[in-house]
Amino acid sequence: MKTKTIFHGKLALQQRVLPTYRVPFFQLLNSACEGGMSLFTGLPRPSEGINTTDKIKISYYRLDRNIHLFGGALYLCYQPGLQDWLNEWNPDALIVEANPRYLSTPSAVKWMRKQGKPVIGWGLGAPSVSGFRQQGRSVFLRQFDAMICYSQRAADEYAREGFPLDNLFVAHNAVLPMPAWPMPDRSNTFKEKPCILFVGRLQFRKNVDLLLGACAEMDSQPRLVIVGDGPERDKLESLAEEIYPSAEFVGAKHGAELKPYFTEADLFVLPGTGGLAVQEAMSYGLPIIVAQGDGTQDDLVRRENGWQIPPDDLDALVSTMKDALSDAARLRKMGEVSYRIVKEEINIEKMVEVFIKALNKLT
């Protein structure tokens, strides 16, 4: 993977943790920085269940300490080694997670200001708050010279907070490169039964129980393939025996092992939160049903290629699945739109281009 857009300086990028799925993006971003890129991260709390790695090929990776304070709505994180890392790397620009819960950010911004160098936030958005929290957020956002937003919804929220429009950049949240394979050729009719696919970790928040229940209420009794493993697998298999015994639990699959499942499917359904597999499903030309979330799905799943439904709503899931499977030809056209979106609009190559555009505007 290569990018034609180059940042001619040294980049420093802070993250709380390094999830495995972010490695391809950071490696591609590093290749677009002429002076190299350094990444600073710590480790999550064991209870978070985040798959992290320290295997990454960039100019300099520093795995340091995270000090986790409190929990839930009161959670805070302090990264004591952040300023030493900046002194050591001496970057031309810094990108940090735009999260006010990270206590090290103000000192990092202050260090960059003394050097006369820009700081860019990378944020999920700014949902409405009021009173003291509103004032604190305004102060927090004013630290940044620019903001890279995960989604258009996030950009709109920052704009409502008064962040300058010229310094808002939307880098649609992507985890995969553009597909290097052609879209699978599917017939405009279903096989014996339409095939619904779920891919993901089997956790409570994924709502796979709702998917089983929805299939059980459908007259067509579609083929349901569940790819993944996790703490809820035994419970879900027991539930399936009771209400949808034809459900196929095939276990965890990775890489090339997933191709036949995506190729054989007619519809991809993610009834809960998360969803790293959504983009991969789209790269195989699948329409999507997904639960509404933080806005990062808005740009991926549109009326032209899928449906967003309220979370935890069985009736909405049933009616949407029935609608989706009522017209195979329409479903195929929606799948073509899915493929085009990840091929042309939302992939890590496009994401890197936006990051470099923001950096080059400020340096």
**In a shared domain, residues 144 and 240:** no
In-domain check, residue 173 = yes
**In a shared domain, residues 84 and 231:** no
pLDDT at 81 over 80: yes
**In a shared domain, residues 29 and 170:** yes
Q: Is the dihedral of CA 243, 246, 249, 255 positive or negative?
A: negative
In-domain check, residue 214 = yes
Buried b (16+ CB within 10 A) or exposed e, 157-190: bbeebebeeebbbbbbbbbbbbbeeebeebeeeb
Residue 231 lies in domain: 195-344
Rounding to the nearest 10 degrees, give the CA dihedral for residues 59, 62, 63, 68. -130
Question: In the predicted model, what is the mean pLDDT of residues 228-250?
Answer: 97
Tell me: the pLDDT tens digits for 121-149? 999 998 877 666 777 888 899 999 999 99
**In a shared domain, residues 31 and 160:** yes
**In a shared domain, residues 266 and 237:** yes
In-domain check, residue 190 = no
**In a shared domain, residues 158 and 74:** yes
Q: Count how many domains the chain has.
A: 2
Question: In the predicted model, what is the mean pLDDT of residues 312-328?
Answer: 96
**In a shared domain, residues 134 and 237:** no
Separation of alpha carbons 186 and 266, rounded Å? 9
The answer to which of 100-114, 242-256, 291-305 has the lowest mean pLDDT is: 291-305
Count of beta carbons in the 10 Å neighbourhood of residue 360: 14
**In a shared domain, residues 152 and 83:** yes
**In a shared domain, residues 203 and 301:** yes
Which pLDDT score, from 0 to 100, does residue 168 have? Answer: 98
Tokens 């310094």, residue located: 167
In-domain check, residue 232 = yes
Q: Which residues pair with 165 in a beta bridge?
A: none
In-domain check, residue 183 = no
**In a shared domain, residues 245 and 128:** no
Tell me: the pLDDT tens digits for 112-121? 999 999 999 9
**In a shared domain, residues 353 and 338:** no
pLDDT at 294 over 70: no
Mean pLDDT score across all residues of the chain: 94
CATH of the domain at 69: 3.40.50.2000
In-domain check, residue 5 = no
pLDDT at 345 over 80: yes
Which pLDDT score, from 0 to 100, does residue 202 have? Answer: 94
pLDDT at 3 over 70: no
**In a shared domain, residues 203 and 311:** yes
pTM for the structure as a whole: 0.92
